[in-house]
Structure 1
Amino acid sequence: MAYNKVTEVDVAALTKIVGADRVIYPATVHYDHDQMKSVRSLPDVAVQPINDDEVAKIMAYANVHTIPVTVRGNATGLMGANVAIEHGIALDMIKMNQVLEYDPENLTITVQNGLRIRDINEYLADKRFIYVPAPAMKWATIGGNASTNAGGMRAVKYGTTRDYVRGIKVILADGTSLQLGGKTVKNSSGYDLKDLIVGSEGTLAVITELVLRLIPRPVITIDVLLPFDSVETAIKVVPKFLEAGIIPTGIEFFGSREIGYWEKYAEKQFVDHSGGGYLLLTFDGSNKDAVQADYERALEIAKNAGAKAPVLMNTADQAALVWEARNQLLTAIQATTPAMDEVDIVVPRSKIAAVLEQVHQIEETDQVRMPNFGHAGDGNLHIYICQDNYSAADFAVKVDIVIRKLYQVAKNIGGEMSGEHGIGYAREPYFAAFYGADRVALLDRIKDAFDPKHILNPDKVFPVKGETDRPNRPLELKN
């Protein structure tokens, strides 16, 4: 696809739409990367709308003039999905950050795209209801979470972001505004376009508003840290919980190596050093006796499977420290190396231990450090490939080799490429090899229907015909 570069004439037109104070031209380096910083590309201009009408006018103008548009929030993504590969316009949604309506009668809250998860939680802090999805990066925007269908640390019991989006307002590539879904609980009225756009990483439409489902605030919450001799031993307990009918709110796993990185990063001591691997379990609910019973049964199962003495979170400070460590593991690992890349494969829960064994084998055979942690309750592993002493060129080769191997492991075991971080730009070259030409062709037709000129977030998720060809695509993965 041949895109037009933004000119002074275009900047003047965009300024007329939003005002000079919300046009950044030329765009600053703030806009050329995401959290991982492994993909960099500078947009020509950044524009900060504050309402749907402005978004619609920007999109209509970009569509007429064939200017690519990349939607952006707080840039907490890891796969380059919000990086403007073809330059053009960065649509910075951070000023669209208002709570539009709180409706406890319908258990919903309506918010704008750029509102942070932290802000939603703070708004609801004194209310009877909560928004459940809990990604580690609380400064991520809700629009970004919806665009990748983020999961977080409560997905094992409550599900992912998609399960809590009742409705969305979107602006299509040509500026058309659509309301998809709303406050209704049920909908069997044709194709579910809302759920198609949630998780589409900004390639189909611009989400401007979201109607989010709320649930009653749990009466009781119990956190417990379970040390084991190894991560593999810890992981093998998870299917035993589920088989016994115990479904914790969250089941997180990490190892002593990762905790060591966090201690150095945070300059704090973790609450326990007895384990080589840990499970962090949360139980919640409205019936104290039922929650306590599940908790006690889980401890018994864990003890019989080799758990050491549990670390009970008896004080708010202790619980806060443990969750701080879990939430900061990514940034702690990032601080140990000049650069890193990440794979967040998701596999059947019963296969996590087997996958981790293969991860360790790859780490040894390919001589690359690969710290990891993740969501044991939903099978989502976060595996980090660290540059350390490799040159940038050698590391790029190493990353490609390791990613191919990890995706082959996931494919062989019935997994998927990503559990919550998305495909973006960084993993787009591997998509067709993993899922096959037939699926890519179908997705290509969907893209054409929503965005005929392919101006929305080009070069992302899967290889779209007519967009810039990227060489050196991986070989087919074996079935």
Structure 2
Amino acid sequence: EVVLPTGEIVTFGGKLIKNAMGLDLLHLMIGSEGTLGVITKAVFRLIPKSPYSCTLVASFNERLEAMKVAPLLAPQMIIPLAGEYIDHDLCEISAKYLGTEWPAKKGNAHIFYICMGETEDEVYSQAEAIAKICEENGAIDVLMAETRAEQDNILKIRGEIASAQKAEDSVGDFLDICVPPVKLIELMERILEIEKKYDTRIPVTGHSVDGNLHPTPLKELADRGLLEKVKEDIYKETIRLGGVISGEHGLGTIRLHNTPLWPDPKIW
């Protein structure tokens, strides 16, 4: 349910599973983030959670090795529930912040995959296939978390990385760039080049299956007057690779001055 600027109340979608009548404006309203109308009511479809799951953590010596794996899953029809990239040092910072331990001790970069299914065989078959791809492409260790407590620990450490970084007060900005998944390796290569160019470290987490990365340029760049230049370089490389400067967080006011970098500013 949406209230339009005219004051008119309009309903899009609803409890129907299918509806081909009229224009499909539902996602237009959702995507407009309140600029075309105020959403006053929403109906969600709930899907039962699969009864079986496991979490796989693959460890790599280098970031680029970890990134190589992400685009290799889809062509083999392997679609995990989630695939998360994390720098090892960020895992340790978050684990310390939470008073727990990150289970993977080897490597400098990790990707963890969550596999879910209706049977144990389905879940473990998918996990084994992912593990095989990782091992064939440079993984130095692959761990499988089977118990709920082990899986929850990994997810909690991942989920609190930003909070742990904020507690350290070391981050200049949390970015939200996104490229086509096949361009993920090139994007990480560009980030490594930018690190070298500005003699800095840019910690990275991200959703590797979606091509969505969260580089976090450090506050020391602001102290050197370089933070905005580093962000602009990252954004330019992202757009050059066919990406966008925000994949899931939205623009808000903080990113608006960067929108002219987009090839077609008319959509803003």
TM-score w.r.t. length of structure 1: 0.53
Match of 2:256 in 1: 428
Q: Deviations along 1:280-309, whole A, 9 cap, x unmatched?
A: 111112243333222211111211112233
Amino acid corresponding to residue 235 of structure 1 in structure 2: M
Match of 1:180 in 2: 12
Amino acid corresponding to residue 413 of structure 1 in structure 2: L
Distance in 1 between the 2:130 and 2:108 partners? 20
Match of 2:60 in 1: 228
* TM alignment of 1:63-462, pairs within 5 A: 169-337=1-169, 340-388=172-220, 390-391=222-223, 395=225, 398-437=226-265, 439-440=266-267, 462=268
Higher helix content, 1 or 2: 2
Amino acid corresponding to residue 358 of structure 1 in structure 2: R
- Deviation, 1:338, is 5.3
Amino acid corresponding to residue 53 of structure 2 in structure 1: T
Aligned CA distance change for structure 1 residues 181 and 363 (closer, same or farther; 3 Å) = same
User: Where does structure 1 lack aligned partners over 5 or more consecutive residues?
Assistant: 1-168, 441-461, 463-479
Contact 1:337-1:386 within 8 A present in 2 as well: no
SS of residue paired to 2:235? helix
Distance in 2 between the 1:435 and 1:300 partners? 40
- Deviation, 1:200, is 2.1
- Deviation, 1:236, is 0.4
Q: Deviations along 1:361-404, whole A, 9 cap, x unmatched?
A: 2122123442110000110001112213744xx54xx2321222
Distance in 1 between the 2:73 and 2:11 partners? 41
Distance in 2 between the 1:386 and 1:201 partners? 29
Contact 1:348-1:414 within 8 A present in 2 as well: yes
Match of 1:5 in 2: none
Contact 2:171-2:216 within 8 A present in 1 as well: no
Amino acid corresponding to residue 92 of structure 2 in structure 1: G
Q: Deviations along 1:78-124, whole A, 9 cap, x unmatched?
A: xxxxxxxxxxxxxxxxxxxxxxxxxxxxxxxxxxxxxxxxxxxxxxx
Distance in 1 between the 2:246 and 2:108 partners? 26
User: Where does structure 2 lack aligned partners over 5 or more consecutive residues?
Assistant: none
Amino acid corresponding to residue 252 of structure 2 in structure 1: G
- Deviation, 1:221, is 1.1
Aligned CA distance change for structure 1 residues 227 and 210 (closer, same or farther; 3 Å) = same
- Deviation, 1:436, is 2.3
SS of residue paired to 1:198? helix
Aligned CA distance change for structure 1 residues 338 and 230 (closer, same or farther; 3 Å) = closer
The structure with higher relative contact order (CA 8 Å, sep 6+) is: 2
Contact 1:342-1:385 within 8 A present in 2 as well: yes
TM-score w.r.t. length of structure 2: 0.92
- Deviation, 1:429, is 1.6
Distance in 2 between the 1:182 and 1:435 partners? 35
Which stretch of the first structure deviates more once superposed, 330-339 or 216-225? Answer: 330-339
Q: Deviations along 1:168-219, whole A, 9 cap, x unmatched?
A: x122334332211111222333332210121323322222221112223212
Amino acid corresponding to residue 238 of structure 2 in structure 1: A
Contact 1:352-1:379 within 8 A present in 2 as well: yes
Query: What is the count of residue pairs matched by the alignment?
Result: 268
Distance in 2 between the 1:386 and 1:435 partners? 28
Amino acid corresponding to residue 123 of structure 2 in structure 1: V
SS of residue paired to 1:312? strand
SS of residue paired to 2:110? strand
Aligned CA distance change for structure 1 residues 316 and 286 (closer, same or farther; 3 Å) = closer
Distance in 1 between the 2:72 and 2:254 partners? 36
State the identity %.
Answer: 29
SS of residue paired to 2:230? helix
- Deviation, 1:359, is 0.7
Distance in 2 between the 1:189 and 1:364 partners? 55
